[in-house]
Structure 1
Amino acid sequence: MRDAFRIIKSFPSLPRLVVVDLDYTLWPFYCHSRSEHDYAELYPQAREILLALHEMGIGVAIASRTPTPNIARAFLLKLGLGSIFIAKEMFPSRSPKTEHFERIHRRTMVPYNQMLFFDDEKRNIDAVHLDASDDIILTLCYIFFVDEHFSTYFSIRSASIPSPTKLEYELP
């Protein structure tokens, strides 16, 4: 977990809340293609990062459109991660994840501009940004998984940064 602490502490400012998707963001499968009795596994770095965030006092929440939230909850419990999330918004939805974020915001009272969102689907990132009103500004991240390591492309949108900034980071 030391690597995750070192990497996270290297950033000049940190969010108050990190919001993550589940399928193909924390684990390499779709929940709805599995049974709650199946073995659950995470991407290699996911546990270390989640636990480091939690221990550093950074809130962690889930925004997932899974059609099988019962399976997702079962996997989180099997993985010993159920208690680290301060909000779990897991419900099927055809709409973008803006509804998930509204619920997370109401539950946590964390301002949108102090949230960081990780998702494997660019359309979710784009939809949350496009549906956001001027006072709902999120820091959005799109994760690509490659060879059990991930590169994160940060699209930072705020009033002080008129166009997206792209940073690339790869974990060892």
Structure 2
Amino acid sequence: MPRRRMAAADNTASTTALPASSLLPDTFTDGLPLPKLIVFDLDYTLWPFWVDTHVTPPLKAQESGRSVKDRFGESFNFYNDVPAILDAAKSLGIKVGAASRTGTPHLARDMLKLLRISRESNGSTEKAIELFDYLQIFPGSKKTHFARIHDSSSISYDDMLFFDDESRNRDVESLGVVMWLVRDGVTTEEVDKGIESWRRRNKKVAN
């Protein structure tokens, strides 16, 4: 049964500058090692819908890019914590990627182009897609997505952390990537758990 998309009002990304304690996962500022690259799935990881089944083009930005409206007037946006997480990661010099197996890559890219993210570092807003260093959006095994990211970035697999909502995609761990399974979208708490798992797996801290 398809999962119910969360109401837009509950997930609209605020452009108001947040206090540092709300903006950053604790692991971003605790002084311990961080992955060089964090990769996110899209559907039910960064946003609460399947872009290939819930969204009908054409798309139009609304509320200055805080959300996107489709042909039928349905509103779509990121999970609440996502904009601040992406902004913080980029501000810390962490590379950001997306690995999605959606059947409508063009629609996913359009969504990322229309949604905008506030940058606390300079008070500006940017298209969400501009915060991603690597985009691999096409049907198929996530291992192929990561092989392409690895080839493009020259970043070791063990320096990569992956957030995804489907356990079948744990097969990327055979490459050396650490995957953290999320059930209700990416939050600051899930990022902390994922980074802590990455540190344990790579012996960056004592178990």
Compute the TM-score of the two structures, normalised by the length of structure 1: 0.79
**Structure with greater proportional strand content:** 1
**Secondary structure of 1:77 counterpart:** helix
Runs of 4+ in 1 over 2 A off after TM superposition: 3-6, 148-161
Please say if 1:63 is aligned against 2:107. Answer: no
Cα deviation digits, residues 82-106 of structure 1 (max 9, x gap): 111111000011xx31000000011
Gapped regions of structure 1 (runs ≥ 5): 166-172
Q: 1:30 to 1:137 in 2, by over 3 A?
A: same
Deviations 1:43-89 (A, max 9, x none): 00011101110111100001000000111001101112011111100
Give me the whole-angstrom Cα distance separating, in 2, the residues matched to 1:97 and 1:105: 12
Residues 89-137 of structure 1: per-residue CA shift (max 9 Å, x gap): 00011xx310000000111111101011000111112x222xx2xxx31
Supply the distance in 1 between the matched residues of 2:130 and 2:42 (Cα, whole angstroms).
15
CA displacement at 1:145 relative to structure 2 = 1.4
The residue that corresponds to 2:37 in the other structure is 17
Give SS of 1:31's match: coil
- For this pair of structures, how many residues does the alignment match? 153
Identity %: 35
- Partner AA of 1:58 in structure 2: I
Is residue 142 from structure 1 mapped to residue 189 from structure 2 by the alignment?
A: no
Q: Please report the RMSD computed on the Cα atoms of aligned residues, expressed in angstroms.
A: 2.4
Q: 5+ residue gaps in structure 2? A: 1-17, 60-69, 116-126
Bigger helix fraction: 2
Structure 2 length-normalised TM? 0.66
Equivalent residue, structure 2, for 1:73:
109
**Matches of 2:96 and 2:142, distance apart in 1:** 16
Contact between 2:85 and 2:188, CA under 8 Å: does it hold in 1? no
Q: What residue is the counterpart of 1:35 in the other structure? A: 56
SS in 2 for 1:145: coil
**Residue of structure 2 in register with 1:26 after alignment:** 46
